[in-house]
Structure 1
Amino acid sequence: MSLPLEIGKMSATLWEVELIAGDSAFQQGQHLTNTFTLLVLLSGEGILERGSASCPMRQDTVYICPPESTFGISAGGQEVLSVAQIRFGFFQVSNPSRTKMHAVLAEGILPDSSSIKVEPAGRLHALCRSMHEQFCSAEPLRWWRAQALFQELLVEVLSAASNRAQDDTHQAMERSKAYMEAHFADDLTIDRLAGIAGLSPKYFVDLFKKRYGVSVLDHLTQIRMSKAKQLMLCSERLLRDVAHEVGYRDEFYFSRKFKKEVGMSPSAFIKKRQRKVAVYGSTSLIGYLMPLEVIPYAAPLHAKWTRYYNDLFGADIPIHLDAYRQNHNRSANLDKLAAASPDLIICSPGLDGWEQERLAAIAPVFELPSEREGWQRQLLAVAELLEEPVQAQRWIASFERKLATVRDKIGKQAQENSVLTLRLQEDQLTVHCNRGMSDVLYSALGFQSPYPAAELPFNLPMTLEQLDTCGADHVLLLVWQESDTLRAWKQMQETPQWLSLKAVRENRLHLIASEPWREYSPIALERMLDDACQLLSGNRP
């Protein structure tokens, strides 16, 4: 039984203060944080991404990222970017004698707002700089001083949150944007939206375009078209009713607007999407539908874990299943799928028996053939199911043409060079070669492997000494995007042993992303070809 949170019986412990810095090209992709994290902009301009939302970072502001959330930072200007990243945890007394404490999530202690402005100007900057200096010292008393400074910062944040009288400009813009999303069917004007933000119409229009990269009216159109797609696919409403429900009084004007924005008429869109195909188990299944020009009715999507598909089809897929920690949320996903009433479910191979039974009770189920069959056989099987064999053959032919082009660009380098694929998870470096990596690098492009005498290892531990002596001409490294691994990665890069590696000194060690290199699907392999061409053709600066 958990105890109620009492702030008077709680303490907070600083785990780490790190300065993240980079030039105008700096970009840190979204990764998972396992602890409470505060982010503070110290210099330059930065863009912060949290889940599916992004915003410019501002001076004198603390940005809050709770445990089990994702965030990423990129430079937003020409100046050098510097951001303080502060990781910490909350603890509470757990027995009457105050002799034991336990970690708590502290829901309700930190403000609900995702950003807090701290006054006076410069106070936050000074606290973070001093805290970092004390924390990095080897003297224990200075480390204690860092803890004291952190407590001071936390009090400042909580006080600023409780005493804040009004929203700043950013929050005013977010308020107006949220109003658009909630009242898109109303007769919204620039004057009305600017009034909600408390800004002049001209300043509101200019600031909206600068902040969100799209005009106010274009954003409103995007919202309306996204809602219209969902209504057309999730209900039997007449086109006239759909038009009215998303803010258009004239259904003919709505049809012209829809065709301009989507590229096809509403009736053509409904006909193409009439069969409600759902995918369950892995987002990679979308990579088998894309070559057939089929957009699923339901699929697992997430702004970080499935960013490529989320950015492409987030607005076009009506039912979003949970793609984060799918193994923890299978029952919820199955409930959502049952409520969606799809016509067909395509699932990953190897599901548990109880999942297969639940799926079969919802709709006819097609299990993707095993990865051992290869992606072409898998794609043709899905194409036969959806009566799209011609489109599948057309896509395979296009893939073969791209492969020939990439081979031509790489030239003799493939025959003369070996490639080693590695993964860093926490502080463990392993040789990591999955089916997609093997198919693209070794089977399709013909690169050599440092392990020719045996099957390619999947998780073979490797030390830096072994990496330096294995003889690989190129090394592709996949760094797990979560806090502990990124911290270990930063420390590894600063060691003399890492800096002395031949592959590092000769710029032959290349970072690769989880998307697409961990996925096995036709689309993922096509994207891997593009990456391989850029990294290994010899034309990189």
Structure 2
Amino acid sequence: MEHERLDNGNRDIGIHEYLFRFRSIETVNQVQVNHSPFHQQLVFSYVLVVTAAGEARMMIDSDHYEMRRGSVCLIKPEHTLGSEALSEDVTLYLIRFDVYGSGEEGNDLLKDVKSFDLPQAARELMISPPDKLVALCEELYRTSRSEDELSRFKCQIDFQSLLYFIQLNSRIRQVSTDSALEQVKKYVEEQYTEPLTVHQLAHMAELSSNYFVDLFKKRFGRSVMDYVAELRLQEAKRLLSLREWKLRDIANRVGYGDEFYFSRKFKKQYGISPKTYMKSRTRKLIAYEPAVLGYLIPLRFLPYAAPLHPKWTEYYYRNYRNEIPTHTHVTNFHQVWESNLQLLKPLLADIVIASDEIREEEKRLLATIAPRICYLSSTLTWREQLRYLGDQLGEKWKAEKWLEEYDHKVSSCREQIQISQAITGKRFISLRMAEDRLYLYCNRGMSHVLNEDLGLLSAHRDEVTLYDENTTLEELARIRTDMIFLLVRQDSETLDSWKKLQNDPAWMRIDAVKRNRLYILTSDPWREYSAHAQLRMLEQATQLLSEDRP
């Protein structure tokens, strides 16, 4: 067979010239897939996912892959990985490893390789026979659990054998019914502006029309033609925000030949007419940083450009990506600001909204891409920032109305929590975990929600409400607290450490942990300081504290 070959300077590298170092193997079942923090995590090593039983959907960055017994997929370093169980019997093996290769010609030093691929450069392959594949994974798993040095050495050999078997027995996966539906869905996403019929799409899936309609709705939660309409109207919103075409031209561009029919569909979906929506987007705003979205949304503004990413700004990406035409970079935000400015310069924005904490060089260059820059002062509270931005955009009344509704929400949430447990005056600490280290950690947003809105008291020394300092299990055991809130960083090293910590006797002896008063928080929204993030934190805290816990 043709083995994997990658370019290295001016020559190709065969798989036999790579060095592979096995790191770890773990099993993940249906409960862990759906209920553990194994959801869109950043990986720093290669991860080979092998489906031993059942079916699952893997999310690699923003791409989805259907996995069944005998299928494998590869995630490269510095990409994101998540999963969703599609059957109750699903069992996955997650195998982490590193790849090394030679440096430049004449240099004997090894270097990390970030571009190794599966055969045929596929992200997903079927391996036949699957029984042999699973048996090799089981053997590798058993051997890895031994503390014997020779067994750990044997793991390297077993892993090489597994890679060899995959290289030798891989094939591009044959299309199943689920895969056929996924392919149709992808086709719709690419061709929704064209005339599409149920008969045409069912024929692509090689299914009868009635059976196809039932399967598609069961699989994706809506009918295929509703999905077509949804995509068309989302694109229409994007085009309306550009202010470059007449209404009839937009209707034609998204697949509607009748402008009036398009207008009726749009108003039925969104509650306002296309013309009204277009007027609401008359100013071309740019959200320079992710948190700026958290102030614009309460004011009912959506920017023309904003930093969006399926992991780093997952909530905003999921809910608003189709209505924000330009997506700037989020990963290593403070390292790619020059690239972001290059993306923003041709947009001819009216207003750029940013934090006043950005560097002076950025401020100087921002002044060249828009006639007006609005800086949100880091010395203001989120309420003051919302009022300030509302005033700057001529919509201060919207800010006041939103704050009034927020305060009503706080009262409602406190009443809801009190039904489950009396929290007024209860003491808490919040922690964050990074790799194998724990930190006492409470930021401004957390303090506003937990201390001010919900009436909890800080159990930190001297009742300090803002803190970020290293701590140990021994120190935590000495803190008298009624509950603990914990942020676990979503990368493979931290999640491995978190798994070990949960079985550590010293951790389990901490009173709040023992009494099942440990509450896991998500970085989004708890690391963002904005009005909309405050609302989402309040809602999440209410849900956690209202749970019926023995």
Q: Could you tell me the TM-score, scaled by structure 2's length? A: 0.91
Which moved further from structure 2: 471-480 or 35-44?
35-44
Contact 1:232 / 1:242 at 8 angstroms: preserved in 2?
yes
> Residue 305 of structure 2 corresponds to which residue in structure 1?
298
Unaligned segments of structure 2, at least 5 residues = 1-6
**2: CA distance, partners of 1:300 / 1:439:** 25
**2: CA distance, partners of 1:217 / 1:238:** 25
Q: Helix, strand or coil for the counterpart of 1:489?
A: helix
Q: Helix, strand or coil for the counterpart of 1:416?
A: coil
Alignment of 1:226-305 (within 5 A): 226-281=234-289, 283-305=290-312
Q: Does 1:491 align with 2:528?
A: no
Letter in 1 for 2:308: L
Q: Does 1:393 align with 2:403?
A: no
Q: Helix, strand or coil for the counterpart of 2:449?
A: helix
Q: Helix, strand or coil for the counterpart of 1:29?
A: coil
Letter in 1 for 2:99: F
> Residue 505 of structure 1 corresponds to which residue in structure 2?
514
> Residue 140 of structure 2 corresponds to which residue in structure 1?
131
Letter in 2 for 1:220: V
**1: CA distance, partners of 2:507 / 2:196:** 58
Which of the numbers 200, 209, 217 marks the counterpart of 2:225? 217
> Residue 18 of structure 1 corresponds to which residue in structure 2?
26
Which moved further from structure 2: 347-356 or 193-202?
193-202
**2: CA distance, partners of 1:498 / 1:183:** 54
Alignment of 1:3-152 (within 5 A): 3=9, 4-7=11-14, 8-23=16-31, 26-27=35-36, 28-77=38-87, 79=88, 81-94=90-103, 100-107=109-116, 111-152=120-161
Displacement, 1:69? 1.0
Contact 1:431 / 1:457 at 8 angstroms: preserved in 2?
no
Q: Does 1:437 align with 2:446?
A: yes
**2: CA distance, partners of 1:502 / 1:235:** 59
Unaligned segments of structure 1, at least 5 residues = none
**2: CA distance, partners of 1:38 / 1:10:** 16
**2: CA distance, partners of 1:528 / 1:299:** 22
Letter in 1 for 2:359: D
Alignment of 1:372-521 (within 5 A): 372-410=379-417, 413-453=422-462, 455-456=464-465, 458-521=467-530
Q: Helix, strand or coil for the counterpart of 2:68?
A: coil
**2: CA distance, partners of 1:493 / 1:186:** 53
**1: CA distance, partners of 2:193 / 2:424:** 60
Contact 1:291 / 1:395 at 8 angstroms: preserved in 2?
yes
**1: CA distance, partners of 2:220 / 2:120:** 25
**2: CA distance, partners of 1:193 / 1:225:** 20
Q: Helix, strand or coil for the counterpart of 2:151?
A: helix
Displacement, 1:106? 2.9
> Residue 329 of structure 2 corresponds to which residue in structure 1?
322
Contact 2:125 / 2:173 at 8 angstroms: preserved in 1?
no
**2: CA distance, partners of 1:443 / 1:172:** 52
**1: CA distance, partners of 2:68 / 2:465:** 48
Q: Deviations over 1:313-348 (max 9, x none)?
A: 122111111222212322222122122222211112
Q: Does 1:349 align with 2:356?
A: yes
> Residue 358 of structure 1 corresponds to which residue in structure 2?
365
Q: Deviations over 1:446-498 (max 9, x none)?
A: 32212352644532111111111111111101000011101111111122222
**2: CA distance, partners of 1:399 / 1:329:** 35
Q: Helix, strand or coil for the counterpart of 1:155?
A: helix
Contact 2:435 / 2:493 at 8 angstroms: preserved in 1?
yes
Question: CA, structure 1 residues 261+53, in 2 after alignment: closer, same or farther (shift >3 Å)?
Answer: farther
Displacement, 1:37? 0.7
Q: Deviations over 1:489-525 (max 9, x none)?
A: 1111122222232222210111111111111111111
Letter in 1 for 2:522: A
Q: Helix, strand or coil for the counterpart of 2:95?
A: strand
Letter in 1 for 2:91: S
> Residue 181 of structure 1 corresponds to which residue in structure 2?
189
Q: Helix, strand or coil for the counterpart of 2:96?
A: strand
Letter in 1 for 2:407: E
**2: CA distance, partners of 1:362 / 1:243:** 31
Which moved further from structure 2: 368-377 or 391-400?
368-377
**2: CA distance, partners of 1:106 / 1:425:** 27
Question: CA, structure 1 residues 399+350, in 2 after alignment: closer, same or farther (shift >3 Å)?
Answer: same
Q: Helix, strand or coil for the counterpart of 1:459?
A: strand
**2: CA distance, partners of 1:472 / 1:367:** 42
Q: Deviations over 1:246-286 (max 9, x none)?
A: 111111111112222222211111011121111002x1111
Contact 1:414 / 1:448 at 8 angstroms: preserved in 2?
no
**1: CA distance, partners of 2:313 / 2:67:** 24
Contact 1:419 / 1:474 at 8 angstroms: preserved in 2?
yes
**2: CA distance, partners of 1:205 / 1:110:** 35
Question: CA, structure 1 residues 462+228, in 2 after alignment: closer, same or farther (shift >3 Å)?
Answer: same
**2: CA distance, partners of 1:94 / 1:313:** 43
Cα RMSD between the aligned structures? 2.6
Question: CA, structure 1 residues 275+501, in 2 after alignment: closer, same or farther (shift >3 Å)?
Answer: same
Contact 1:301 / 1:309 at 8 angstroms: preserved in 2?
yes
Contact 1:42 / 1:59 at 8 angstroms: preserved in 2?
yes
Q: Deviations over 1:208-255 (max 9, x none)?
A: 333333322122112211222222222521222211121111111111
Q: Deviations over 1:111-166 (max 9, x none)?
A: 443211111132322222221111111223333332223223223333455x4385
Displacement, 1:56? 4.3
> Residue 311 of structure 1 corresponds to which residue in structure 2?
318
**1: CA distance, partners of 2:313 / 2:367:** 26
**2: CA distance, partners of 1:89 / 1:14:** 7
Contact 1:5 / 1:106 at 8 angstroms: preserved in 2?
no
Q: Could you tell me the TM-score, scaled by structure 1's length? A: 0.92
Letter in 1 for 2:525: P
> Residue 4 of structure 2 corresponds to which residue in structure 1?
none
Contact 2:426 / 2:482 at 8 angstroms: preserved in 1?
yes
Contact 1:184 / 1:224 at 8 angstroms: preserved in 2?
yes
Contact 2:72 / 2:125 at 8 angstroms: preserved in 1?
yes
Q: Tell me the number of residue pairs that the alignment of Structure 1 and Structure 2 aligns.
A: 538
Which moved further from structure 2: 298-307 or 94-103?
94-103
Which moved further from structure 2: 141-150 or 303-312?
141-150
